[in-house]
C-alpha cells in the first residue's frame, strides 16, 4: 500500500476545511496539505447553496438566538457572540478579497437586509423588547424597529400585500445584512489552495481507518471508483465533514470523543418558480419557530443569490432521518451508537420524544400544509408558484449529562485531542457563518506554539485585525473594522 507524508490532512471538502486550510496557508505557506473528499467535488453537502440557509448569521434576524425565559426576560448574550464571530469572518474574507485570494465579493456574498417579522400582541411585545435590548449595544446600533404599516411595506412590500388592516405586525430591519453562497465561497478558496504545489486534493476518496502511531496519524484512504488504497501519514488531522465528522471521530477512537452522539435532522425548502414574484422580494425575513421545533426550522422567506442567479426560498421544513449526510446511508444513526455513548443517546432520546414526533410529522406534511405556513409570510402565495426541494442534513450534538444521562445541543462544538494532533467540528447552525472564528479556535488549541511566535502573531493580525480583542466590548474597534469590511465586501 502506497504511503504519503503530509503536514495537514483535512477530511471533508466543505467551508470549514477550506477555511482552516486557507488560514494555515496564509500563516505558513511551507505547510504541505492534503484534502480528502468522498464526493466528486467540494461543497456538495452542507456547504452547498441549497443545503443551508445562505444567511450571514449575525443575530440580526434570528429570533432563536435571543430566547425568552418564563419570566419574559430576553437573553441577548448568544446574539452578541454570534454577531462578533461573524464580524471575524467578514474581516478574513475582506483580507482575501483585497489580496486577490478571492474574486469580486459579489461572487459569494451580497448585501441583503435582515428582518425579523412577527404578528400578534404577544410576539410584537417580544420583538419590541428584543429590539430595545439589542439596539443599546454598539454591535446592533444600526437596527431599526417599526409597527407602522407604511414602513413595513417599504421594507418588505411583497409580504405586506393583501394583509388584514387590523393585523398587529412588527419588524426589525438591518440594512447591511448579507446573503452568502457558502458553496461558491468554498470553491473559490479551494481553487486558490490548488495553485500551491504543496496542496493535494483527493476526490471520490473515503477514510477507512485512523490510527495514531508515535507522532503521526496513519490514515487509510480508499478511492471509491478505482478501489485503490493509500495511507497518509499526517502530523495534524482535521475532521470537517459535516454530519460525517462524528463517525470519523469515532474511527479515531480518541478519549475526548467518548459520550458524543448525533441526532440527524433533515430539511426541505419551498422554492419559487415565478420570476415576477422573485424580483419583488429583496430581503431575508425570519419569523418565530413553531413550539417544539428545532432552531434550524425557524421559518424564513429569503431572497438568495445562487450561482449568480436570484432565487426565493421559504422554509426550512424539518424532518426526521437516520442519515448523517444528504448522500449518506440510512444506517448512519444505528452505526453511530457505541458503548461509550449509548447512555447519552438513550437519555437524549427519552427527553426529546416530542421533538422526534414533531420531525416525523413534518415529513408527512402535504403541499397544501406547507403552503399554509408560507401564507403566514406571504398571504397571496399561489401553490403553482412553489415547488419542494431537499435541503441539507444536519447532525445535532448529543453529549453526556449527569441529570438526564444525555442532552441534545444546538450549535457547533470542537473536539480535539490533548496533544492537538487531531480536531473535529461537530454540530450545525450558525456553522458556516462563524467558520473563521471556529477555525481560529482550532489554531489556538492545536497550533498554540506556532501562534505565539512573532511571525504568526503579526500575520494573523493582518488576516483578522481584531484578533485578540473583543468586538463586544470595544465599540471603537468595531467601528473601524466594520467600516472596512462593509466597503470591501460591498455591503454598505
- CATH assignment, 2-438: 3.50.50.60
Alpha-carbon separation of residue 78 from 43, 82, 99, 402 (angstroms): 27, 6, 32, 24
pLDDT tens digits, one per residue of 349-376: 888 887 777 787 887 889 999 999 999 9
What is the model's pLDDT at position 292? 63
pLDDT in tens, 270-295: 999 999 999 999 999 999 877 666 66
Pairing of strands 169-174, 309-320: unpaired
2-11/229-239 β-pairing: parallel
Dihedrals phi, psi of 333, to nearest 5 degrees:
-65, -45
Verify cis geometry, omega within 30 degrees of 0, for the bond prior to 456: no
Pick from 190, 156, 138: nearest CA to 14: 190
Which helix (H) or strand (E) element contains residue 78? helix 77-98
Which DSSP string corresponds to 171-191? EEEETT-EEE-HHHHHHHHHH
SS3 137: coil
- Looking up cell 473528499 gives 37
Q: Which pLDDT score, from 0 to 100, does residue 170 have?
A: 98
pLDDT of residue 293: 64
Q: What is the pLDDT of residue 252?
A: 95
Which segments of the chain have a pLDDT < 50? none
Rounded Cα distance, 416 and 431, in Å: 17
Report pLDDT for 2.
79
pLDDT digits (tens, 9 = 90+) for 135-179: 999 999 999 999 999 999 999 999 999 898 889 999 999 999 999
Residues 6+ apart with CB under 8 A from 392: 45, 46, 48, 50, 51, 52, 242, 267, 326
Cis peptide bond N-terminal to 430, omega within 30: yes
- Domain locations in the chain as residue ranges: 2-438
pLDDT in the model for residue 320 = 81
Grid coordinates of 140: 446592533
Amino acid at each position: 500500500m502506497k504511503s504519503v507524508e503530509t503536514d495537514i490532512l483535512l477530511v471533508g471538502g466543505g467551508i470549514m476545511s477550506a477555511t482552516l486550510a486557507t488560514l494555515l496557508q496564509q500563516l505558513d505557506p511551507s505547510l504541505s496539505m492534503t484534502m480528502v473528499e468522498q464526493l466528486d467535488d467540494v461543497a456538495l453537502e452542507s456547504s452547498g447553496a441549497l443545503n443551508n440557509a445562505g444567511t450571514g448569521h449575525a443575530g440580526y434576524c434570528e429570533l432563536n438566538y435571543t430566547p425568552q425565559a418564563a419570566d419574559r426576560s430576553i437573553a441577548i448574550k448568544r446574539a452578541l457572540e454570534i454577531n462578533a464571530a461573524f464580524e471575524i469572518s467578514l474581516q478574513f474574507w475582506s483580507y482575501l478579497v483585497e489580496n486577490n485570494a478571492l474574486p469580486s465579493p459579489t461572487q459569494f456574498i451580497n448585501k441583503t437586509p435582515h428582518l425579523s417579522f412577527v404578528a400578534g400582541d404577544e410576539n410584537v411585545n417580544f420583538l419590541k423588547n428584543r429590539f430595545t435590548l439589542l439596539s443599546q449595544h454598539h454591535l446592533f446600533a444600526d437596527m431599526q424597529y417599526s409597527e407602522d404599516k407604511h414602513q413595513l411595506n417599504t421594507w418588505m412590500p411583497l409580504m405586506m400585500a393583501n394583509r388584514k388592516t387590523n393585523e398587529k405586525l412588527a419588524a426589525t430591519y438591518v440594512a447591511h445584512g448579507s446573503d452568502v453562497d457558502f458553496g461558491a465561497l468554498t470553491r473559490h478558496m479551494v481553487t486558490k489552495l490548488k495553485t500551491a504545489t504543496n496542496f493535494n486534493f483527493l476526490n471520490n476518496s473515503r477514510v477507512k481507518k485512523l490510527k495514531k502511531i508515535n507522532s503521526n496519524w496513519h490514515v487509510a484512504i480508499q478511492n471509491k471508483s478505482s478501489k485503490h488504497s493509500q495511507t497518509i501519514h499526517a502530523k495534524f488531522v482535521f475532521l470537517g465533514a459535516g454530519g460525517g465528522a462524528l463517525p470519523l471521530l469515532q474511527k479515531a477512537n480518541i478519549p475526548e470523543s467518548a459520550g458524543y452522539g448525533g441526532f440527524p435532522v433533515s430539511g426541505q425548502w419551498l422554492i419559487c418558480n415565478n420570476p415576477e414574484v422573485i424580483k419583488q422580494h429583496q430581503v431575508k425575513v425570519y419569523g418565530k419557530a413553531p413550539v417544539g421545533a428545532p432552531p434550524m426550522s425557524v421559518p424564513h422567506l429569503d431572497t438568495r443569490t445562487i450561482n449568480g442567479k436570484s432565487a426565493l426560498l421559504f422554509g426550512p421544513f424539518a424532518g426526521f432521518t437516520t442519515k448523517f449526510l444528504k448522500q449518506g446511508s440510512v444506517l448512519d444513526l444505528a452505526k453511530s451508537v457505541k458503548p461509550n455513548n449509548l447512555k447519552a443517546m438513550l437519555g437524549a432520546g427519552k427527553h426529546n420524544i416530542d421533538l422526534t414526533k414533531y420531525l416525523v410529522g413534518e415529513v408527512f406534511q402535504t403541499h397544501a400544509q406547507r403552503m399554509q405556513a408560507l401564507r403566514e409570510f406571504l398571504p397571496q402565495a399561489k401553490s403553482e408558484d412553489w415547488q419542494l426541494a431537499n435541503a441539507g442534513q444536519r447532525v445535532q450534538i448529543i453529549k453526556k449529562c449527569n441529570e438526564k444521562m444525555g442532552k441534545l445541543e444546538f450549535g457547533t462544538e470542537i473536539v480535539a485531542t490533548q496533544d492537538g494532533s487531531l480536531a473535529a467540528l461537530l454540530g450545525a447552525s450558525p456553522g458556516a457563518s462563524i467558520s473563521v472564528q471556529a477555525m481560529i479556535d482550532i489554531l489556538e488549541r492545536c497550533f498554540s506554539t506556532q501562534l505565539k511566535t512573532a511571525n504568526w502573531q503579526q500575520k494573523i493580525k493582518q488576516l483578522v485585525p481584531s484578533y485578540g480583542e473583543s468586538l463586544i466590548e470595544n465599540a471603537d474597534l468595531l467601528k473601524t473594522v466594520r467600516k472596512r469590511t462593509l466597503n470591501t465586501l460591498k455591503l454598505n
